[in-house]
Chain A
Amino acid sequence: MPKVKIPRKSTSIDMTAMTDVAFLLLTFFMLTTKFKPDEPVQVDTPSSISDKLLPETDIIQILVDGDGRVFFGIDGQPTRASMLDKMAKRHNLTFTEQERAKFSLLSTFGVPVSNMKQLLSLSGDERNALKQPGVPIDSLNNELGEWVLYARQSNPKFRIAIKGDRDASFPVVKRVFDILQERQINKFNFITSLEAAPQD
């Protein structure tokens, strides 16, 4: 009987197929990805059975965090700049060209306008570390209402989306509703995460 000779196989494997798979997946992720927006607070949205998608553009986002602080977020850099100009005029403040440029890159903020200069002087990391006090919403100093008004003056198509934390207390949210209704905004969206509808 002849001996069975085990052929010595090369240990190198053809990686081409694996590369194909890897890049296919990479392409998929690159195309579907949308980076997490840079938000100054973590907001844990409540879940609902609503499965409507949020429009991607022309959204004013009002964040309400668990401690009842309110943040204002808006997209569109030209809108932000013109909003800041109007707000500065209203409060007799002046912003330098540099500060305007910096503000137009700021997606969400939560400080009274009097502290805006201070916020804009910080670098990105410092700003993230800072605990922002929130936009004032009380009736004497209703800056949220002013921001909403000026934002809608620059672009009337804007829709309001409220992104509240599960544990945000109801009176704060209700106050935000009232501010919006004072501005004749009776239609707004709540941002929620999806949960399964109960089977009946």
Chain B
Amino acid sequence: MIYAKLNRKDFASFFESLRKYGKIYGPVKISESYGFKEVSNVDELSLDYPRTMIPPKKFFIKPQERIFEFNEEKAEYLEIIEEERVVVFGVHPCDINAIKLLDKVYINDMPDKYYQKRRENTIIIGISCHPDEYCFCKSVGTSYAVDGFDLFLHEISDGYLIRAATEKGYELIAINKDSIKDVEASDIDEFKEREQKRLTEFKLDLNPFGLQDMLELAHDHAVWKEYADKCFGCGTCNLVCPTCRCYDVTDLMKLDLKTGERARRWDSCMLRKHGLVAGGLNFRPTRVERLRNRFNCKGSLREGMINCVGCGRCTVYCPASIRYVEVLQKVRGEIK
């Protein structure tokens, strides 16, 4: 890891230097919430944001995207691979860890070219944060980003302590050599202090150890019915979840009935259609099954990482006020 220091007075020029790598997206306040939006001026940023409504997964798996355009008559199709270069600025550790989970799904023995290309074309710059009452990343081990970013900015009193995890990240430091300095001992001391203090700020706690067994043993527990009765089945939790990545595929035919496109878009396991096959058989026909499936999916491990990063979005945005951690505490028998 390469460490460096960015002084607050040089922040704006550093930010502007990113522009030549692509469009810069950063956290921006949108009415009552926050979202990653294209940022044309550094003043638009809200770097002390608690969380965005839509997680940064949207940069890699688009809410809706074309896979290819086809011509049925000529029996041919044209793949549509985007080449746009993007800088995503100000990503929290939980979201960076969520992207690492998505990588495990999308870049493996059968890599998804669309996702992979976007990952290659995206610079990720992380930023340190403070937990609010919905955050429980500390519990699931994602409160710190070990890697998965190009640069990570840890706020200290007069600027940022920077970690560079990739070649691209190092390059960003190199091109800003006039404004980015070496880290001093006092910066390191403050970084340590702030990291320690941050860990004491968490209010919400979830015990992740053995959660997979607890979920499995709770297969017939009354908790699923209790919360399924509250749940609207709207799928908001899926849309705002940084690790939910189910997608559906649709062919859209143009009016000439010869040409069209194959598109995919985010899907939701809380919707009735998710387990439905042709002929009308549904493998998860009731909301109880769908809710249980979602909690089991989130609580399961993928290559040793739990599929939930503790960002709190599903609780914050649930219109039925279902509290994710509370459900799992009931599953564990910690509360009745």
A and B part of one assembly: no
* B residues apposed to A, CB below 8 Å: none
